[in-house]
Structure 1
């Protein structure tokens, strides 16, 4: 690989025209010596060919449509298969890369023999508040990810060797219900192949807001997390990590109004880890002590999720 290999940024989008343009401008504006191609993938929406006008020297912008499974996973994969870069980066349509991201990540990837994947820290913006989330570690293993989803490892921070995606650990899984947690499953599979490289600097602005792909889709969230537990039996080796996921399922059941399901999953969670807070939050929501949206607003202001 050359010192400054070509990069393709894959940007899935759906009904966010203004935020999308800000995301593309931030990619095109990266101070990086190599070519940076942007592939905008329209998912279940009408494409806007005028985005190509944002192109600059060595910064082509292309517009394509999702030709695979409808949803975020299929859109990411459509962009990956259309990409020409030696490296593939992801960016959500409501996020922005900060100056220096690509150059720093490529240098970090080149510095670690055998590395296939590099991430970085984030700045989370929600309801007028901004919080920095940075992992204080340089390498992330599969065991690390089984214990903790690590919010800092946001898809908009991912930079991956194209060969690893196409011929190694593979594309984003399109079988996950509703594409929910596709990024977490992708991280687990990538870490099975090789430890992930991480930069301790926030190079991406991540916006959390009510127009998320998954806002209020609690049944889909519950189904997807159960799928994840079945697909990764390794969770059984990390009781606290397994309890974290079952606690998320309990909360999703409570938020959807399924009180009995919430209590069942909360009990299962507490048997594995009596200190897992998501179980208690699920019981509080199921008992109508607090509303699920109030819990999420409080967590999001702190740069955290459920």
Structure 2
């Protein structure tokens, strides 16, 4: 049996999937199987996989069930002791699996090991932004307020976690992964590799413009979670909502919807005023002010300058 099962959901993903799979086969850790879940694609994925000669690849075809359904199919079919999830357009650095496997092997109390995440653009070029978290150990109280696993392609999880806690909940929609990580954190510690070993591709076209839907999905997770949170921690529920609203205000700015961004920021303040004085909250106030006076193009200009500076800094230190 392979040590690791890599689950790659694929829905009409052939534009990026070959490059993504290439980073899998460049891993320094090689004891794995690759489960490509063809989630009702209409492209040539079946013919393409048939042309591959690596025996570690398995193609699993199913009618379209969405990302949650594809993840659950992968978990059910996985033969490995550990399960990694990889979106069909994201990439891995070569040492990712090796470092995560070593961590789980040495720390039986850990159920999930995460990594830092580098954002890349549609062409695979780094934006210079590294998403860093310091969430490790007993992260349950932290993760019920805000997702600490920021990219679905970054965690490596013990399969026993799913055997004990169940599959991803389709009722949670696009937030089913947050719900799953909360459930794992209620029983296991988390570990963290503090290196950007996961490359998270950003698409202008895929950025959700339906903030109301995103809110409802996050709301479903919060309400489900806090049904079992002890009374002394129920005050964290309002903070969880405030952080969701703060996130949605950023999404609204990305969608060039100034009025919606202001509304969500106001809701964040109503739920927990402290969040708008955080680093993210203060940066957001600057972005909203910039948009108010100079429009979305002004904000885009500042962001482009910032990204260029970050790329240059990373190039100097790498």
Q: Calculate the TM-score normalised by the size of structure 2.
A: 0.75
CA contact (8 A) 2:287 2:299 kept: no
Counterpart position of 2:104: 109
Contact 2:258 2:292 in 1 (8 A): no
- Equivalent residue runs for 1:19-98 within 5 Å: 19-34=16-31, 36-46=32-42, 48-49=45-46, 50-56=48-54, 60-67=56-63, 70-98=65-93
Asked if structure 2 preserves the Cα contact closer than 8 Å seen for 1:119 and 1:153, the reply is no
Q: Give deviations 1:116-172, integer Å, cap 9, x for gaps.
A: 21111222113742333343464351112234433x64211111111211x212222
Q: Tell me, yes or no, if structure 1 residue 226 matches structure 2 residue 219.
A: yes
CA contact (8 A) 2:83 2:157 kept: yes
Q: Which 5+ residue runs of structure 1 have no aligned equivalent? A: none
- Give 1:282-297 correspondences, 5 Å limit: 290-291=295-296
Whole-Å separation in 2 of the counterparts to 1:72 and 1:258 = 30
Which of 166, 171, 181 does residue 187 from structure 1 map onto? Answer: 181
- Answer whether contact 1:222 1:252 (CA < 8 A) is retained: no
Distance 1:282 1:104 in 2: 37
Report the counterpart of residue 242 of structure 1 in structure 2: 241
Give yes or no for contact 1:221–1:252 (8 Å, CA) kept in 2.
Answer: no
Q: Do the aligned partners of 2:114 and 2:154 also contact (CA within 8 Å) in 1?
A: yes
Which position in structure 2 is the counterpart of 1:149?
147
Instruction: Give the conservation status (yes or no) of the 8 Å contact 1:43–1:66.
Output: yes
What is the SS of the residue equivalent to 2:269?
A: helix
User: Which is richer in helix?
Assistant: 2
- C-alpha distance in structure 2 between counterparts of 1:94 and 1:8, whole Å: 18
**Is contact 1:285–1:292 with CA below 8 Å preserved after alignment?**
no
Q: CA RMSD in A?
A: 3.6
Deviation at 1:282, TM superposition (A): 10
Partner Cα separation in structure 2 for residue 288 and residue 82 of structure 1? 54
- Deviating more after overlay: 240-249 vs 17-26: 240-249
CA distance in 2 between counterparts of 1:292 and 1:9 reads 40
Mapping of 1:130-149 within 5 angstroms? 130-136=128-134, 138-139=136-137, 141-149=139-147
Match of 2:166 in 1: 170
1:206 aligns with 2:200: yes
Distance 1:120 1:143 in 2: 19
2:316 corresponds to: none
Query: Is the aligned partner of 1:196 residue 2:190?
Result: yes
Structure-to-structure mapping, 1:264-279, within 5 angstroms? 266-271=265-270, 272-276=272-276, 277=281
Number of aligned residue pairs: give it: 290
Secondary structure of 1:16 counterpart: coil
Partner Cα separation in structure 2 for residue 280 and residue 190 of structure 1: 34
Q: Equivalent residue of 2:195, what SS?
A: strand
